Amino acid sequence: MTMVTMNDALEGSHRKGRKFGRDLAGLAVILGLAVVGYLLFPNNLALLTRMTAIALLVLSLDLVTGYCGVATLGHAALFGSGAYAAGIAAVHFGLTDPLLMLGCGILGGALAGLVCGLVILRAHGLPQLVLSIALIHLFHEFANKASSWTGGSDGLAGIAPDPLLGYFEFDLWGRTAYVFGIVLLAGVFTLLRRIVRSPFGMLCRGIKEDPIRIRAMGASPKLALMKMYAISGAVAGTGGALNAISTQVVGLDSLSFTLSAESLVMLVLGGTGSLFGALTGTIVFMFFEDIVSAANPFHWLTMVGVLLVAVVLFAPKGLYGTVVGLAMRWREARR
């Protein structure tokens, strides 16, 4: 398991000023892309908002898979739990303030993260993967059966969020939702950059490489991973809540194996172990999906498959990771 953590390979030892600069650059890229997206696709903000929500899911997956080396194909459980928590809060408890719904989503996601962590972290490798698949099916079935709460296969409809901060209506064009989403993504991204660089982030990278070594240092890998799972759940729950607020409906697909697998595909596409990689993968995959499925509705999945095979074979570090690798080689050559 030596997937390169691109951020750190690039940053390595370098000074804090540079890192702060990269934080700002990352933020600028997110906001810049958001503006470009808004200008290019003013009639398709719903897609862009969904992309933002999924980006949060992929970032969350990156925390446990990319940074901690946990194999999971059930990460949508955290996303869906956040979505249902926000939706149920609005529909059944009348908590229609979007920030309260967001809070419920974060809490729901974090709780689901703890539950999934407790189960998944008991195993390693293939058994771990199988446990994660079993979990996502259990979550899915549970949501399906508890239809009085979740609406079952019809979905949980009738979510009507109040204006954001009592002022910004969630309009028909999805502008408010889009801006809300981008602000959330930018905030989460900045926070996660800090966390992955912190001593805790370093501890997690150590666990990914050699948990026995970490134990010999007197630290408990299990405890750290559980913490990371809770954080990851909070992030995925943020994405789920955003999805519930923006689409005003929560469907069983948000708790599906398909979404879990797709998010892993996006992460691998962009590059694991890097927050920028997670974002790149999400954007490329979802645009590709949108464009190709419009051009060829029958074979678009085949083309996504071809893209993925190409990336895994020729750019095993993912799109972002490969670009960073090339840039580093270029810089070393110039030295």
Sites for another protein among residues 156-195 (CB under 8 A): 194-195
String of contacts with another protein for each residue 91-130, x by CB under 8 A: ----------------------------------------
Please select the residue that binds another protein; options are 5, 150, 256, 272, rule is CB under 8 A: 5
| DSSP H helices in the chain | 6-11, 16-40, 45-61, 76-93, 98-120, 125-145, 147-150, 175-197, 199-209, 211-216, 221-247, 257-270, 275-295, 300-314, 318-334
Burial state string for 293-329 with b = 16 or more CB within 10 A and e = fewer than 16: eeeeeeebeebbeebbeebeeebebbbbbbbbbeeee
Q: Supply the DSSP symbol for 123.
A: S
Which residue's CB is nearer to another protein, number 161 or number 211?
Answer: 211
- Choose between 39 and 212: whose C-beta lies nearer to another protein: 212
Within 214-253, the residues that bind another protein by CB under 8 A are 215-220, 224, 227
Residue 259 CB, shortest distance to another protein, in Å, is 28
By the 8 A CB rule, do 73 and 129 touch? yes
Amino acid at 78: L
By the 8 A CB rule, do 81 and 112 touch?
yes
Interface residue with another protein among 198, 258, 296, 302 (CB under 8 A) is 198
By the rule CB under 8 A, 203 interacts with another protein: yes
Candidate ranges 13-21, 62-70, 131-139, 153-161; the one touching another protein (CB under 8 A): 13-21
Q: Which of 3, 158, 19, 143 is nearest to 67 (CA)?
A: 3
**Are residues 58 and 278 in contact, defined by beta-carbon separation less than 8 angstroms?**
yes
Residue 30 corresponds to which amino acid?
Answer: I
Whole-number minimum distance, CB 13 to another protein, in Å? 3
Which residues, in sequence order, are bridge partners of residue 168? Answer: 164
Which span sits near another protein by CB under 8 A: 63-71, 202-210, 257-265, 294-302? Answer: 202-210
Q: In the set 22, 137, 175, 197, which binds another protein (CB under 8 A)? A: 197
Binding to another protein by residue 22, rule CB under 8 A? no
Residue 333 binds another protein (CB under 8 A): no
Contact 74, 133 (CB under 8 A): yes
Q: Toward another protein, which CB reaches closer, 238 or 254?
A: 238
Binding site for another protein (CB under 8 A): 2, 4-5, 8-9, 12-13, 15-16, 19, 194-195, 197-203, 205-206, 209-210, 212-213, 215-220, 224, 227
